Structure 1
Amino acid sequence: MLSRTAANLFWMARYLERSETTARLLDLGFRNALLPNAGGGFRNEWSAILQSKGTLQQFTDKYGDLVQRNAESFLFFDLENPSSVASCITAARENARIVRTALTSQVWDAINVSYQELKALTRRERSSLEVPELTDWTLRTAALIRGAIETTQLRNDGYRFMNLGYAVERADNTARLLDVKYYVLLPSVAYVGSGLDNYQWTTLLRALSAHRAYNWAYGGELSAAQIAHFLILNPKFPRSLLSCSIEANEHLDHLGRIYGRSSPAQEAARKLLGELAEARIEDVFDEGLHEFLTRMISENAGLGQCISDQYLTGEAR
């Protein structure tokens, strides 16, 4: 496969996953903003979310004061924000259009229809659009496209590059969502274990579509250690860092067999997987959850760069 084709498929999947995560962050901010302001005037849900996406300064430069309605518009509609839902779906559709012949008609139709529906949403009065409607639409769209990929795409190298994009992006996003809650969102350690703390944990799990799965796995008792274990080290949860790492390794190993050679990307992925597989949640908290997540985000970005250097630049692979 030509490296430029692989790159388009890889980034198509990353943008689709990113659009879903931005919608989940939008839902997280919306739900937390519904909580009565009992934290001594503390109110930083939206700044925390924008900070996690690395777009707080861009938002401030454009909109000034942090107003909820502007934050919602910035995260969903603003094409000047490269992480907005609209920007990500537009970019995913453009990548898909370039390699349309590498996609089944069902996958292309799902992506193209989502883009047309997005354009219809942008033409509606913003006052008629509520955040739950926008986030539900995004999650349904993402599930529809992913379903089309899983049920119609040939299991060839193109399929592997798409799923690599999903795995790398999902790991980054899970780490950022968890970091928003644990390090940025809670106003003070004095609130740990409080009603505010538990509400935010529940909201985080719901934003990740993980609330019921968490209850199945841990019996419903909320604790920072158990939720962190669930989102980082539980291989049964598909959005955990460990699960994403397992998936990335699987697809890189398939590519190694397809192309008849191993790659530095495989070595980087195995190193990351080995670290996560051997980690204990006690070790994570000893290091500091924020510090651990920051390091995981950096190492995951390094893996993405290895994949790019090995497969997504240059001539045919």
Structure 2
Amino acid sequence: MLSRAAENLFWLGRYMERAEATARMISMGQRMATLPGSMGQSEWTSLLQATGAPAPEDRPVTEADIVAELILDPVSPSAVQACFSKARENGRAVRTALTQEMWESLNEDWRYLESMDTQAARRQLDHLLEWIRKRAAVFRGAVETAMLRNEGYFFLRLGSNIERADMTLRLLNVKYFLLLPETEVVGGGRDHHQWMSMLHAVSGLRAYHHHYGGDYAPWNIADFLLLNQTFPRSVAFSYSQIHGCLDRLDKNHGGAHKCQRTAQTELGRLTRLDINAVFSDGLHEFINDQIATTARISKEVSDAYHF
């Protein structure tokens, strides 16, 4: 496969995953903002901080800012509209590698958001966030049910899982940024509901309950999102998929690359790691280190396949 085509499919996977994850993060911010004792703007500010999007310096962050910056901005790398637009551009460049259903999904997503303004989006925000999640699921279903399991598929899935690992880490960072101005003791009622909001954001409440029962301790929820090897949105599971995709690509190309060795090392570390050690050393520090490692793997993939 040409390097340019591999790059297009890799970033198509990343942008579609980012669009969905951003919608999930906004839903989490909504849920946190409605908790008793919430300051409102703190939750919205934490979302912008976690995604790396700019926040206004002269006033509190509002829901309107979130809609404008994280949903409807046509150029911000954090915004859903920009992600859908860039996903479509990448898909158009490799049109023959996509199924008809994949291409139709990309077109519908882009057109729907292009004509929407901030006021309309705010009026139907819950519906809009649900629509974004469903559209991402439609695209993913088209990929899984009809796309050939060739190099193109594995580059697309590689991008998706790198982005998923990164966004799950950033979702956990929302909680950290939210705690910075807090005076409430960690472990209080509001703290508990904020952690629960994370499970809702990843559609993981039932899966968590199946694995951990009714114990919603923060370290168990962090363990579920970081180290659980069976939940599809955990960092450890995403790394297992990253390593699997790289393994298939390297077999096709007849040799291992640095990115594969890095992914294998990190997967082994995540498999052996204990969540108590993570909390002891600092959850935020661990998350930031893992975000940097995930970015490094992405760069190593680009270097290996000449993006």
TM-score of Structure 1 vs Structure 2, range by shorter chain: over 0.9
Residues 175 and 293 in structure 1, CA contact (< 8 A), matched pair in contact too: yes
Structure 1 counterpart of 2:49, from 48, 51, 65: 51
1:220 paired with 2:228, answer no
1:29 paired with 2:23, answer no
How many pairs does the alignment contain?
A: 306
- Which residue of the partner structure matches residue 176 of structure 1? 170
Distance 1:131 1:8 in 2: 30
Partner of 1:79, secondary structure, is coil
Change (3 A) 1:127 1:137: closer
User: Displacement, 1:71?
Assistant: 2.1
The amino acid of 2:19's aligned partner reads: S
Structure 1 counterpart of 2:83, from 88, 91, 100: 88
RMSD: 1.8
1:161 paired with 2:133, answer no
Q: TM-score, normalised by structure 2?
A: 0.94
- Which residue of the partner structure matches residue 137 of structure 2? 143
- Which residue of the partner structure matches residue 71 of structure 1? 66
Residues 235 and 242 in structure 1, CA contact (< 8 A), matched pair in contact too: yes
Percent identity of the aligned residues?
Answer: 41
User: Displacement, 1:311?
Assistant: 1.1
Distance 1:281 1:292 in 2: 11
User: Displacement, 1:197?
Assistant: 0.9
Partner of 2:55, secondary structure, is helix
Distance 1:198 1:165 in 2: 33
- Which residue of the partner structure matches residue 246 of structure 2? 252
Structure 2 counterpart of 1:60, from 56, 59, 64: 56
- Which residue of the partner structure matches residue 106 of structure 2? 111
Change (3 A) 1:67 1:160: same
Distance 1:31 1:59 in 2: 20
User: Displacement, 1:264?
Assistant: 1.2
Deviation readout 1:137-163 (Å, 9 max, x if unpaired): 000000000000000000000000000
Deviation readout 1:89-131 (Å, 9 max, x if unpaired): 11101110111111111211121122222234x1695276322
Residues 72 and 118 in structure 2, CA contact (< 8 A), matched pair in contact too: no
1:205 paired with 2:199, answer yes
Change (3 A) 1:299 1:16: same
User: Displacement, 1:310?
Assistant: 0.5
Distance 2:122 2:70 in 1: 17
Residues 46 and 178 in structure 2, CA contact (< 8 A), matched pair in contact too: yes
Partner of 2:203, secondary structure, is coil
Residues 6 and 312 in structure 1, CA contact (< 8 A), matched pair in contact too: no
- Which residue of the partner structure matches residue 284 of structure 1? 278
User: Displacement, 1:191?
Assistant: 2.9
Between 289-298 and 259-268, the greater mean CA deviation after superposition: 259-268
User: Displacement, 1:82?
Assistant: 2.0
The amino acid of 2:178's aligned partner reads: L
Residues 3 and 305 in structure 2, CA contact (< 8 A), matched pair in contact too: yes
Between 79-88 and 171-180, the greater mean CA deviation after superposition: 79-88
The amino acid of 2:5's aligned partner reads: T
Residues 167 and 247 in structure 1, CA contact (< 8 A), matched pair in contact too: yes
Change (3 A) 1:198 1:92: same
Residues 32 and 45 in structure 1, CA contact (< 8 A), matched pair in contact too: yes
Partner of 1:172, secondary structure, is helix
User: Where do 5+ consecutive residues of structure 2 fail to align?
Assistant: none
Partner of 2:242, secondary structure, is helix
Deviation readout 1:251-294 (Å, 9 max, x if unpaired): 10000111111111111111111111111111111210000011
Distance 2:185 2:16 in 1: 35
User: Displacement, 1:190?
Assistant: 3.7
Distance 2:170 2:101 in 1: 32
User: Displacement, 1:75?
Assistant: 1.2
- Which residue of the partner structure matches residue 266 of structure 2? 272
Distance 1:60 1:124 in 2: 17
The amino acid of 1:49's aligned partner reads: L
- Which residue of the partner structure matches residue 307 of structure 1? 301
Q: TM-score, normalised by structure 1?
A: 0.92
